[in-house]
Amino acid sequence: MKNKIIRLILTLVVAIFLLSSCYDEKSKNFTVAFYNVENLFDTIDNPLTRDNDYLPSSRIPWNTKRYYHKLDNLSKVMSTIVPNGFPAVFGLCEVENRQVIEDLINRGKLKNAHYKIIHKDSPDERGIDAALLYQPDTFLPLVTRFIHLTFPSNPNYGTRDILYTKGLAYGVDTIHIFINHWVSRYGGRKKTEQFRRYTGRLLRLITDSIFNVQPNANILIAGDLNDNPTDSSILVALGANKEVIAPFAEKQLYDLGLTEYKNGVGSLYYHGWDLFDQIIVSTALIAGYNGMKTVTDHEIIVKKNWMLYHPKKGPARPNRTSAGRYYGGYSDHLPVFITIKVNTAGEIFTII
């Protein structure tokens, strides 16, 4: 009797191992990253935008040597996120135009990523935009739109569009991706809060319209929201107020930066750490309803020691390119990412 029990246990262990191995063979990693690259401007004057701080004649000269040094620095950072590889999808913000993105993906190790670009010039007064890089053998865009923001209180205010794309991950399942760069706090947090709250409400209306067709849609929102996860623009307006704790309800958004922020972790430093760079996902991606499931319940902040500036007083912080003087660093933000397991067996296939 004892030997039969032992044989039964061994059989179960072997079966579990084989099933686990089979699942691993049928699933692949799909990494989504976001990076505010801090004023990636070329050196050419655009008379239609306020790019006067990034010209050879500027008070802090911005020249070809410094431009290519920044591209090399960004390439180094972006190439360290996935060991021996690259994120399948990489959202960017604070890029001046398509040419600077082309220059970036052709520098250093990024040349090996073979990224394609989704970008459009936005009506932002400074001329900075959001963009999306993707690997075509991993992600296939089906629909792309640029969502223009018109604020009722100031219709003439020019800001960045929200980049939206719907596509297939490994040709298996659909994911909706929104890349954001919300209005900054420049001019005062309270004064500019109305713009971020409006953006949050609009984005919630759009995601709800997707949920109304498919309650368990795979939705991912990434970007520099210029607010922390506990601010009202995200908690109330966008409604990303759920910690990643089961049970999971339909049609919900979960901020994967919320727990990290409550633990004192940030992606930029200004009189203390803030977490403006966030990745927010729908219930389906947390629970794995459609064959796509997040590997962790929080976003990962890339924080290498060589990316930081170490002042004589105070904590280390992101080593930026310039601020009052030229530093020659990387960015004033740190990149963030999540990894999603995609079931590539082909049993699940949804397009909405």
Q: How far apart are CA 342 and CA 302, in angstroms?
A: 23
Buried b / exposed e along 283-292 (16+ C-beta atoms within 10 A): bbbbbbbbbb
Tell me whether strands 273-274 and 268-269 are parallel, antiparallel or unpaired. antiparallel
Side chain identity at residue 94, one-letter code: E
Name the CATH topology of 28-343: Deoxyribonuclease I; Chain A (3.60.10)
Main-chain phi, psi angles of 38, to 5 degrees: 55, 85
Report pTM: 0.91
Distance of CA 20 to the CA centre of its chain: 30
Instruction: Identify the pLDDT of residue 246.
Output: 79
Domain ranges of the chain: 28-343
Instruction: Identify the pLDDT of residue 3.
Output: 54
Per-residue pLDDT of the chain (352 residues; tens, 9 = 90+): 555 554 544 444 333 343 344 445 688 999 999 999 999 999 999 998 999 999 999 999 999 999 999 999 999 999 999 999 999 999 999 999 999 999 999 999 999 999 999 999 999 999 999 999 999 999 999 999 999 999 999 999 999 999 999 999 999 999 999 999 999 999 899 999 999 999 999 999 999 999 999 999 999 999 999 999 999 999 999 999 777 877 888 899 999 999 999 999 999 999 899 999 999 999 999 999 989 999 999 999 999 999 999 999 889 999 999 999 999 999 999 999 999 999 987 544 343 4
Task: Work out the number of other CB atoms within 10 angstroms of the CB of residue 261.
Answer: 21
Instruction: Identify the pLDDT of residue 349.
Output: 39
For the record, the structure tokens of 127 come out as 């001329």
Instruction: Identify the pLDDT of residue 4.
Output: 54
Q: How far apart are CA 170 and CA 173, in angstroms?
A: 7
- Contact criterion met (CB below 8 Å) for 172 and 349: yes
Tell me whether strands 129-134 and 139-147 are parallel, antiparallel or unpaired. unpaired
Instruction: Identify the pLDDT of residue 45.
Output: 95
User: Does the bond joining 247 to the residue before it have cis omega, within 30 degrees of 0?
Assistant: yes
Half-sphere exposure of 127 (CA within 13 A, CB side): 19
Tell me whether strands 219-224 and 173-181 are parallel, antiparallel or unpaired. parallel
